[in-house]
Structure 1
Amino acid sequence: MQTNTAGINLIKQSEGLRLSAYQDQVGVWTIGYGHTGPDVAAGLTISADQAEQLLQGDLARFEQGVSALVTVLLNANQFSALVSFSYNLGLGNLQSSTLLKLLNQGDYQGAAGQFPLWDKAGGNVLPGLQKRRLAEQALFQTPVAN
């Protein structure tokens, strides 16, 4: 599966676009649409096209990870919400989460209820994370028309 337009828009809106490297709320060097990694350091600048390329590469990695971790059927919105969640928090957090445990047990409603609990960075509740988790929860719960 691939992240749908609603999921990509959620990620872009939540992450914002920064063409110069900056340190996020917990000190991680970040650039573009929330891209992190050993290739990001102080002083790095990129173009909007490069930011889009980084996003596409990151999405592919998180799509693969979500596909590998989830054992139940997902619609496009559920999958995209999980990619956004993982994009922000990492696949390790998804893997160890009660959200994934409930989902893989077939408890979609219980899994949906877990999104808002992931609203902290550095131990502090952040309004931006609260907003993102509620948007991911809403996307997860939105049926897909056939």
Structure 2
Amino acid sequence: MLLVTLWGLVLLSVFHWQADIFPYQHFFQVILAIIILLLAYKTVQRTARVQPFVIAFNQQGQVNYLDRETPEQWQLTDKSRLTNWLLWIQLASPIDPRQRHWLLIFKDQVNVQDYRRLCRAILYQQQTKDP
């Protein structure tokens, strides 16, 4: 819903320009509005296809994807960050440490106990960082 609202604000801002600033302004605004609508449609369709995932992790920061056909194992890194409402989790492959990806987990996506567990795992990784 937030995504649709943001795209709506972008679209409305196109028609909030001062009138007759340059020749063919209305034509340009219509073309720009069509482009914005196409981008918004594509973005909404892409986010609708995103499937939730299931992970299991331990206190040492080892993460396993449980919903994949071939289980992947990742390691939580000390680059992960936490706030009161969002976790930025960086995962690195134990096989190739250069292979990394980020997870963004909002507080309302998981229950309170799991959010706290994830916070403790991030803090543990930050405290056990090799100097």
- TM-score higher than 0.5 here? no
TM-score, with normalisation over the residues of structure 1? 0.25
- Higher relative strand content: 2
Which one has more relative contact order, counting CA pairs under 8 Å at least 6 apart? 1
TM-score, with normalisation over the residues of structure 2? 0.26
- Higher relative helix content: 1
